[in-house]
Chain A
Amino acid sequence: MNGVFERLLGVPDVLSGTPALAIGLTLGAFFAGNWLFARLGRPIWLPPVVISAFFLSAVIAALALDYDQYREGARWLTVLLGPATVALGIPLYQQMHHIRAMWRPILCTLPVAATLAAVYAVVIGWALGGTPLVLASLAPKSVTAPIAIGITEQLGGSVSLMMGGLLVTGVVATLFVDLLARWLPVEDERILGFALGLNGHAIGTARAFEISHAAGAFASLGMGLTGVFTALILPLFFQF
């Protein structure tokens, strides 16, 4: 009997060394976050990714798992981010007719707005004493996560801080678009959608699909173009 008890005590240590535990926890938190989000009536200010992240960190802390060990196990999921980035090219292709219909305003707005989204954040962060590590982590804040991870690694920033920043940016961009649409006022759903995708990446795009299908299509487009444009431009800027 003693042997069984001792082996039982050893189980958490052994399991925390396998990828299966990290993957199981991440999947569980993902579903729990989506479930609670639906139960709360889909609030704009609390997207499922935020709820899931809170669940997951609480569980990791409660089980006293080492974060680096967890991340090593979860690498099996993270590897899929590469093919997932490639997958973003398919909706981009499918929405090509929207670009054709409105290509001039889109092509004029994109470089200016996507550059300023990074410049505003870096300048404000720099003025308030942000270190180069922090600035490199803030620069891709409006870029969709799979692309932003690549950018931050290129710039030498912290992926963890960048991810946190991405989350906040997505949530507040959604709130600001809602607010400013009434304030300015802007009523064109295509413009609102484009602004949501350009500034608020996947979180803004999810919100745009709630407004209308056209807004969602323009948000996907804004998200995709901002991702590609920023990925090409930022590393060049940061070399100087």
Chain B
Amino acid sequence: MGLLRGFLVLVLFYLLGEACRLVFALPVSGGVLGMIAMTVTLMTLGGVSNELASASQGLISVLVLLIMPGVVGVFFKADQFAGQWLAVGAALLVGTFLSVITTLLLMSFLVRRGQREDSQ
């Protein structure tokens, strides 16, 4: 029962997010709006119930299951993207390589600079 009560809270926040998206014509999905509302609510309340924590943990641990129907689509829709595979492959491989380097260098630089400032 506790698990279902936690799930109900997640569904309510999702519906709240969807309602906000529709009413204010926002270009962001209802799930994300619900997630932001959830984080802000928890920060305001200063704690999270066990029911909610276990319901969220349960859903997050089966995320891979939930995305599977979409993932396999790429095998069945592949012919739609004929002639685009070089662009797709290069964007994914080279783009990810560059963004990983950027993140590591920038973050290392900022952390080092922060430590220097603290020690001064």
Residues of A within 8 A of B (CB): 22, 26-27, 29-30, 33, 48-49, 52-53, 56-57, 60-61, 67, 70-71, 74-75, 77-78, 80-94, 96, 102, 104-105, 108-109, 112-113, 116-117, 120-122, 124-126, 128-131, 134, 138, 141-142, 144-147, 149-151, 153-154, 158-161, 163-169, 172-173, 176-177, 180-181, 184, 186, 188, 190-192, 194-195, 198-200, 202, 224, 227-228, 231-232, 235-236, 239
Contact = CB atoms under 8 A, between A and B. Distances in A.
B71 A164 contact: yes
Contacts of A91: 56, 60
Nearest to B93: A172
The 9 closest A-B pairs by CB, nearest first: A150-B29, A85-B31, A160-B73, A164-B74, A235-B27, A89-B38, A87-B56, A121-B95, A74-B69
A194 B88 contact: no
Interface of B: 7, 10-11, 13-14, 17-18, 27-32, 34-39, 42-43, 48, 52-53, 55-57, 59-60, 62-77, 80-81, 84, 86-88, 90-108, 110-111, 114
A124 B71 contact: no
Which of A53, A87, A90, A141 lies at the interface centre, i.e. has the most chain B CB atoms within 10 A of its CB? A87
Contacts of B31: 81-86, 146-147, 150
Contacts of B103: 109, 113, 194-195, 198-199
B42 A80 contact: no
A116 B72 contact: no
- Residues of A contacting B: mostly: helix
A86 B28 contact: no
Contacts of A169: 92, 96
